[in-house]
Every structure is written in structure tokens, then in C-alpha cells.
Amino acid sequence: MDYPRSLGGAAIGARLRRLAERIDGDVARIYAEAGLEFEQRWFGVLNQLALNGPATVGDLAATLGITHASISQTRSSLEKAGLVQSQTDPGDARRRPMQLTRKGRQLVERLTPLWQMLEQVGLQIVAEVDGLIESLDRLDDVLSRQSLFERVFESAPELTTLGLGRGRKAR
């Protein structure tokens, strides 16, 4: 029995994590087969820097729709690998845009054909799963309108009697 499948809606997060792990694991194997030291979590940041030039953590977090903390961790990892560098913005000392280093540009150039192949294979998979992207877009929109957290406490206010939601701020 496939336990997460059997739970239906209660296991949405588990199902998405399992799929993400499967996809990321396969992509990591592809990079390793190509002799590339590359972490899948670097893709969004490197790709954005290659496409759009220097950007701050805040810019990238907004564009990629992930947390500042996640981008900061990725930046540290990329800097350690010598693929990006951050410099203080002369116009605003609080801003530290990051940009690709020479090594980063060379890696992106080497990765571009592989990324194009992954895009093609991704499109093949999407074609096999009718409405996948549209369903993911709808899920994203639904959770943007009202989070899972908000939905739980709205539909079950009695949970506060169990000690849940004490730290919850009023909306």
C-alpha cells in the first residue's frame, strides 16, 4: 500500500515532497553523470543571474517566490563554490547584489544545453499528465489567497481548546 496516496488531501505536502525528492534526485544523478558538481537548489539563482544580471537576495526571493533565508543560504553555498560574488551597491550600502563570477558564467554556459534538455523532458512529462501545470498554478493561487494554517483555524476554531493557535495573530 502507498500510504501517502491512501491519505488523500491529508498528505498533499508529503506527496509534493516525495515528487520533488524523486525529480531532484534524478537531476542530481544527471549532473553527476555529466561530471558536474552542481546542486539543484542553485538552479533558480544561477539561471536568474545569467538571464537578468546582478540581483539582491530580496529581488531573487520575490522573483522565485521563496524565502529570503533560502536565497541567503543558496548565496552562501554559491559563494563558497566560487560561482557568485556579492558586492555592496555604491548607491545604497544596505544592498548587496550578487553576480556570476567567471567560473559561474562558465558553468552556466556548460549547463545551458543540459537545462534545455531537461526543459524538453519536462514538457514531455507535462504532456503525459493532463492539466498538471494548470493544477499546480491553481494550488499556488488557492494557498496564496488563504494559507493552510488560516484554513485550519477558520474551519476548526475549537482547536484553540487543544492549545493550538496560542501564538496566532488576529487577522
pLDDT at 152: 81
- Predicted confidence (pLDDT) per residue in 56-114, tens digit: 999 999 999 999 999 999 999 999 999 999 987 777 767 789 999 999 999 999 999 99
The answer to which of 2-6, 74-78, 108-112, 144-148 has the lowest mean pLDDT is: 2-6
- Predicted confidence (pLDDT) per residue in 113-140, tens digit: 999 999 999 999 999 999 999 999 999 9
> Mean pLDDT over residues 157-167, rounded?
61
User: Is residue 3 over pLDDT 90?
Assistant: no
> Mean pLDDT over residues 7-12, rounded?
71
pLDDT at 170: 45
User: CATH fold of 36-101, please?
Assistant: Arc Repressor Mutant, subunit A (1.10.10)
C-alpha cell at 113: 544545453
Indicate the pLDDT class of residue 12, thresholds 50, 70 and 90.
confident
Contact by Cβ (8 Å): 84, 100? yes
Q: Where are the domains of the chain?
A: 1-34, 36-101
N-terminal to C-terminal alpha carbon distance within the chain: 41
Contact by Cβ (8 Å): 48, 63? yes
Indicate the pLDDT class of residue 171, thresholds 50, 70 and 90.
very low
User: Is residue 169 over pLDDT 60?
Assistant: no
Compute CA distances 145 → 13, 110, 141, 142, whole Å.
18, 40, 6, 5
pLDDT at 11: 75
